[in-house]
Amino acid sequence: MTITKTAFGQTPDGQTADLYTLTNGNGMKVQITNYGGIITSIVVPDKNGKFEDVALGYDNLADYIKNSPYFGALIGRYGNRIAGGKFTLDGKEYKLFINNDPNSLHGGKKGFDKVLWKAEPVEGADVVGLKLTYLSKDMEEGYPGNLNATVWYFLTRDNELQIKYEATTDKPTVVNLTNHSYFNLAGAGNGDVLDHVMMLNADRFLPVDKTLIPTGELRPVKGTPFDFTTPTPIGKNIKADDEQVKFGNGWDHAWVLNKPKAGELTLAARVVEPTSGRMLEMYTTEPAVQFYSGNFLDGTTVGKGGKPYKFRYAFCLEAEHYPDSPNQPKFPSTVLRPGETYRQTTVYKFSTK
Ligand code: GLA
């Protein structure tokens, strides 16, 4: 297991971002830059041992800085949407940047995906990894409290990419961290993902309004197009005549994960690409997963190796607390107070079938 480092490019304020390459004994390779904590590539074998990069992204830092729909990035301080870009905590109202009219999305104008993290390689007996740290200052992007965030990426001997998050604060705040990798198990840029077969370990999902803010209802998936409790092609019901599917222009919703005990690391999703046989299993401690089917990709984004990323050329499985939790007291809390530690673990496990 090895980790190496090369320069990746300059940020607009003249700092150097690095690119770390993690490899394990099976030839699986993961590349991560400390700009935005972005996973820039994940190279895994298919059932015949043919390696492909299954993560969408760019060849160089400049493209990430110019325009990226959060490819591979760490998302914070609050992943997903906060209604109207505001919330009240302990009687005080906080205003956020509205970057997804009329809501605030994925941390605001300059979220954790656009900052330079401090990076430190770590090596263990069965893992090779990268530790990233970032201090988000009090009132940065409108969020209260100095937040010390730490994220570890680990590549294991059995082709798991583990992500561990921790954060502490000196004032009450809200936190919801995730990773926004875009996957295509046939290889990034090699067609849409509608034939990928997916299982979501979720009996309920969160219906949304037309700005994609949850209504507060936890709706059973049974009998709706949102039922992925058994393996189902992603494209099967994506054009269903259903208000919720239309609001998302396809899948762009949070599914509530079946979890015997809150905070337990359990299976959230299993996705198989039938031709290559590549399989991705996701485990998380989080209560929900935002499953997004790349509905905003339109071919104008040209990615690694000059390949255009067209409509629904990828899927994202973002482990997180429910969207808009700071405004919805009935949802599991995203409030972090001084003295507490925010923790989340998500594992993406690659294999073949
Ligand atoms: C999340 C959101 C989507 C979209 C993507 C990024 O998945 O829910 O609506 O913003 O991020 O484009």
> In 3-state terms, the chain is what percent helix, strand and coil (to 5)?
10, 45, 50
- Total residues found in the chain within this entry: 353
Residue 248 dihedral angles phi and psi, to the nearest 5°: -90, -5
Whose C-alpha lies nearest to ligand 1, atom 7?
292
Q: Tell which residue, 36, 50, 43, has the closest CA to residue 21.
A: 43
* One-letter identity of residue 281: E
For residue 139, report the distance from its CA to the centre of ligand 1, in Å. 24
**pLDDT at residue 325 in the model:** 98
Q: Is the dihedral of CA 316, 148, 113, 118 positive or negative?
A: negative
Q: Which helix (H) or strand (E) holds 65?
A: helix 61-66
**pLDDT at residue 179 in the model:** 98
> Does residue 6's CB lie within 6 angstroms of at least one atom of ligand 1?
no
**pLDDT at residue 269 in the model:** 99
For residue 105, the cross-strand partners are 81
* Half-sphere exposure of residue 235: CA atoms within 13 angstroms, side-chain side: 11
> Does residue 70's CB lie within 6 angstroms of at least one atom of ligand 1?
yes
For residue 252, report the distance from its CA to the centre of ligand 1, in Å. 7
CATH number of the domain at 192, please.
2.70.98.10
Q: Tell which residue, 15, 42, 35, 7, has the closest CA to residue 280.
A: 42
> Does residue 197's CB lie within 6 angstroms of at least one atom of ligand 1?
no
Residues 6+ apart with CB under 8 A from 261: none
> Does residue 69's CB lie within 6 angstroms of at least one atom of ligand 1?
yes
Catalytic: 180?
Answer: yes
Q: How far apart are CA 282 and CA 91, in angstroms?
A: 37
Q: Check: pTM over 0.75? Answer yes or no.
A: yes
Q: Tell which residue, 1, 3, 62, 66, has the closest CA to residue 32.
A: 3
Whose C-alpha lies nearest to ligand 1, atom 8?
252
Residues 6+ apart with CB under 8 A from 88: 94, 326, 327
Calculate Rg over the CA atoms of the chain. Answer: 19
180, 196, 253, 321: the catalytic one is: 180
Given the CA of residue 323, which atom of ligand 1 is nearest to it?
8
Average pLDDT per block of 10 residues along the chain, 353 residues long = 97 96 97 98 98 98 97 98 98 98 98 98 94 98 98 98 98 98 98 98 98 98 98 98 98 98 98 98 98 97 97 98 98 98 98 97
Residues 6+ apart with CB under 8 A from 217: 206, 207
For residue 117, report the distance from its CA to the centre of ligand 1, in Å. 22
Q: How far apart are CA 29 and CA 341, in angstroms?
A: 31
Could you give the number of structural domains in the chain? 1
DSSP per residue, 93-125:
EEE---SBTTBEETTSTT-GGGSBPEEEEEE-S
**pLDDT at residue 125 in the model:** 87
Provide the domain limits for residue 185.
2-352
Among 71, 211, 316, 322, which is best to mutate for testing ligand 1, by the most ligand atoms less than 8 A from CB? 316
For residue 243, report the distance from its CA to the centre of ligand 1, in Å. 18
CB-CB contact of 180 with 70 (8 Å):
yes
> Does residue 105's CB lie within 6 angstroms of at least one atom of ligand 1?
yes
DSSP per residue, 239-267:
T-S-HHHHHHTSSEEEEEPP-SSTT--EE
Catalytic: 318?
Answer: yes
Q: How far apart are CA 158 and CA 149, in angstroms?
A: 27
For residue 227, report the distance from its CA to the centre of ligand 1, in Å. 20
Whose C-alpha lies nearest to ligand 1, atom 12?
69
